[in-house]
Amino acid sequence: MNKQRYSSTYAISPKKRMVKRMNIKNFKDNCAKIVFILAACISILAVALICIFLLANGIPGIAKIGVFKFLTGKVWKPGNSIYGILPMILGSIYVTAGALIIGVPTGIATAVFMSRFASKRTVKIMSQAVSLLAGIPSVVYGFFGLVVVVPLVRDLFGVSGTSMLAASIVLGIMILPTIISISEPALDAVPNAYYEGALALGATHERAVFRVILPAAKSGVTASVVLGVGRAIGEAMAVMMVAGNQPRMPKGILEGVRTLTSNIVMEMGYATDLHREALIATAVVLFVFILIINILFSVLKRRAKL
């Protein structure tokens, strides 16, 4: 009788242990799901609060100044209550475009080299270098531009050195880690069958990489470029140190400019009343630029899928 009772208890206990393990696993899965949902809600809430703050404090300033005068005005003189941000808008666009011209080809070429041409040892060394570039603070990039790039531009062209060109070079270097770190995994994710098929059809290694692998990774490469644009157009400290900070219409790549971010950083510390509202309105315009860039990226991504 005791043996039968012991055997029945022993037979049931593994089932109970399995049920217990399943309950623990389900509990952990539910906890993880709740944590992820809370994290997503916090992120959405943060974005919503930023939007509400910008719109609530920036729209009244734009209304007081006038949308047309604010966006197309060529003069920025807070002392005379004149607030036109067209020079800063153009300065941001030109500096960002220059950074893309410098950084995008270099970053994509580096990612292609690391993904399809370099040895494993070289890739390891370059990956560490890219990670180091990504971790350098913006002010250090600005100091590098002030000490190295600005004197170089001054010696080569005989100008002051603090210019649109210097800012574009510094930003072009700054966006390299973003482009490389996103483009390289996108290239690595392309199935090797694409490469082998290109070789089977008679393509060389270089032709297979640039005509088959790179187009197949277009989505990831485009994402890296968009994030690079966001990094470039939103940078303030490094640009402020090398761009010249002249609130006037851009006259050339060797002349000084002021960007939207630099304008906010330089004057927010002492701005009051309408001046402060105008600076927050400038942030609204910058936010709209980033939003437009993200929307364009989404549209391009959808077309690529079709």
* Per-residue buried b or exposed e for 109-120, using 16+ beta carbons within 10 Å of the residue's own CB: ebbbbbbbebee
End-to-end CA distance of the chain: 72
pLDDT given for residue 306 in this prediction: 59
Residue 88's alpha-carbon distances to 46, 263, 281, in angstroms, are: 27, 8, 13
List pLDDT tens digits, range 193-239.
998 898 888 888 899 999 999 998 888 888 888 888 888 888 888 88
Angle formed by the axes of helices 218-233 and 273-305, to 10°? 170
The Cβ of residue 214 has, within 10 Å, a number of other Cβ atoms equal to: 20
Reading the chain (306 residues) residue by residue, the pLDDT tens digits are: 444 544 544 445 676 777 777 777 777 788 888 999 999 999 999 989 988 888 888 888 888 888 889 988 888 988 888 899 999 999 999 999 999 999 999 999 999 999 999 888 999 999 999 989 888 888 999 999 999 999 999 999 888 888 899 999 999 999 999 999 999 999 998 998 998 898 888 888 899 999 999 998 888 888 888 888 888 888 888 888 898 888 888 888 888 899 999 888 888 888 788 899 899 999 999 888 888 888 877 776 676 665
pTM across the whole model: 0.83
The neighbouring-strand residues paired with 244 are 257
Q: What secondary structure does DSSP assign to the chain, as a single string? A: -HHHHHHHHHHHHHHHHHHHHHHHHHHHHHHHHHHHHHHHHHHHHHHHHHHHHHHHHHHHHHHHH-HHHHHH---EEGGGTEE--HHHHHHHHHHHHHHHHHHHHHHHHHHHHHHHTS-HHHHHHHHHHHHHHHHS-HHHHHHHIIIIIHHHHHHHHSS-S-SHHHHHHHHHHHTHHHHHHHHHHHHHTS-HHHHHHHHHTT--HHHHIIIIIHHHTHHHHHHHHHHHHHHHHT--HHHHHHSB---S----TTS-B--HHHHHHHHTTT--HHHHHHHHHHHHHHHHHHHHHHHHHHHHHHHHH-
Range 68-305: architecture per CATH = Orthogonal Bundle (1.10)
Rounded Cα–Cα distance for residues 70 and 61 (Å): 9
- Cβ neighbors of 250 (< 8 A, separation 6 or more) are 87, 90, 91, 94, 164, 257
Rounded Cα–Cα distance for residues 295 and 246 (Å): 31
Rounded Cα–Cα distance for residues 67 and 58 (Å): 11
Domain positions in the chain = 2-65, 68-305
pLDDT given for residue 165 in this prediction: 92
